[in-house]
Amino acid sequence: MPATNSTLVLGAVAYDAKVVPIWDGFQRWFASQGLDFDYVLYTNYERQVEQHFAGAFHVAWNSPLAWLQARRTAERTGRIAKAIAMRDTDCDLTSLIVVRADSPVRSLAELRGRTIGCGAGDSPQATLIPLEHCARAGLVAERDFAVRRFDVLVGKHGDHVGGERDAALALLSGEVDAACMLDGNHLLFANEGIFTRGATRVLARTEPFDHCNFTVLDGAPEELVQRFERLLLSMRYDDPRVRALMDLEGLKRWCPGRTSGYALLESACERFRVLEPFLARMSVA
């Protein structure tokens, strides 16, 4: 059912059980600020992007790959996609290629002929961007080294971290020679006890990139979207009404959206032809 112009409707992917309490909480807070807010959840980003263009909701909470899917679809269909806001923690992230501390591998070049463990095939942070980093260093996946993908919940673009965690465990067990993961998840795995102190060594770090954003298409009700954006940017971490929600969503403040941090992922998508099947499907729809 198409979104109406009296309620701001958000589309999001249910990548974790915490998604429902997060958006329920924001729904209550937006209501307290005079904005009628609702949300719809999808099992995967491809369906979410499709439904955004079908008019099912006004604003998408998009993964970086879903942002590129939306932007490219908009370009092909004569529409406009804008990133209006993102978390402070979505900006300037890096991914790592990690080896065991006792590994003889001391450089990317020494991964030639070995096996790298990655997250899901559609994970920007644990597959696409690290493999692009390798390619720029002269090591092409499946030509110069084998790739073992841990395809956990494909369609959720790696948001659930499951594939990264499995790659980390495979590294420790010796199933792979190196593993790809977000810098922050390397720390998370240490806190979880997966990586004990001194168990791993960072072999390479990618260039910085950006993660999720709120995406709006042309034709969305301008006044509702502007109110939503203003309220987001007005949230303060020291406000007890929203602090727990911001902790769950992993941010200290919302920032204006920017698109300069997606070039590395876009280059990876071009190299590995990641976007083509989705764009072909959208051109037929």
The CATH number of residue 99's host domain is 3.40.190.10
Residue at a domain's end among 205, 224, 249: 205
16 is a domain residue = yes
50 is a domain residue = yes
Q: Is the pLDDT of residue 1 over 50?
A: no
107 and 185, same domain (yes or no): yes
220 and 86, same domain (yes or no): yes
User: First-to-last CA distance in the chain?
Assistant: 17
User: 3-state DSSP helix/strand/coil percent for the chain, to nearest 5?
Assistant: 45, 20, 35
Radius of gyration, alpha carbons of the chain:
20
220 and 278, same domain (yes or no): yes
Structure tokens that stand for 117 in this block = 């463990």
**Alpha carbon distance 285, 277 (integer Å):** 13
Q: With helix as H, strand as E and coil as C, how does 4-23 read?
A: CCCCEEEEEECCCCCHHHHH
101 and 167, same domain (yes or no): yes
Q: What is the pLDDT of residues 230-266, one digit of tens each?
A: 999 999 999 999 999 999 999 999 999 999 999 999 9
34 and 103, same domain (yes or no): no
| Closest residue by Cα to residue 257 from 285, 223, 228, 282 | 228
If one counts the domains in the chain, the total is 2
Amino acid making up residue 49: V
Residue at a domain's end among 142, 176, 205: 205
156 is a domain residue = yes
Work out the pLDDT band at 285, boundaries 50, 70, 90.
low
- The H-or-E segment that residue 96 falls in is strand 95-100
Q: Is the pLDDT of residue 7 over 60?
A: yes
Average pLDDT over residues 77-98: 98
2 is a domain residue = no
Residue at a domain's end among 205, 228, 259: 205
Output the DSSP codes for 23-65: HHHHHHHHHHTT--EEEEEESSHHHHHHHHHTTS-SEEEE-HH
102 and 201, same domain (yes or no): yes
1 is a domain residue = no
192 is a domain residue = yes
237 is a domain residue = yes
Place of tokens 């790659």: 167
Q: Is the pLDDT of residue 111 over 90?
A: yes
CA distances from 100 to 141, 177, 187 (A): 20, 8, 15
Q: What is the pLDDT of residues 199-228, one digit of tens each?
A: 999 999 999 999 999 999 999 999 999 999
Q: Is the pLDDT of residue 2 over 60?
A: no
108 and 197, same domain (yes or no): yes
**Alpha carbon distance 229, 215 (integer Å):** 11
| Angle value at C-alpha 77, between 86 and 57, nearest 5 degrees | 45
| Closest residue by Cα to residue 61 from 30, 90, 28 | 90
Domain around 263 = 8-90+210-284
Structure tokens that stand for 76 in this block = 């092909």
3 is a domain residue = no
| Angle value at C-alpha 258, between 238 and 266, nearest 5 degrees | 130
